[in-house]
Amino acid sequence: MEEHRATPRHRVLKAGTIEFGGESIPCTVRNLSASGAGIEITSPLWFPDRFVLALPSEGWRKRCRVVWREQKRLGVVFDVVFEQS
């Protein structure tokens, strides 16, 4: 499979949240790079194509955009490099 990412991602297993419009959905971050992440959710609920991904264990929140969705997995790219909370 050919790699199309701008920066290589590293496998992780971190608890995160998808935040939008005052709502929060728990998620698991499965891979991470400076430019994006692979996320897994517990159910394929609807949420917008743009949201804030928060990783409390890392102490950051990033605005991001969905670039692909596949059932309970999705890939996002970050709009800006690390926003500190």
pLDDT in tens, 24-56: 999 999 999 989 999 999 877 788 999 999 999
Pairwise CA distance, residues 28 & 17, whole Å:
8
Domain with residues 10-84, CATH architecture: Beta Barrel (2.40)
pTM of this structure: 0.81
- Long-range contacts: 42-46, Cβ < 8 Å, 24+? 42/72, 43/72, 44/71, 44/72
Q: Would you say residue 61 has pLDDT above 50?
A: yes
Q: Can you give the pLDDT at residue 2? A: 47
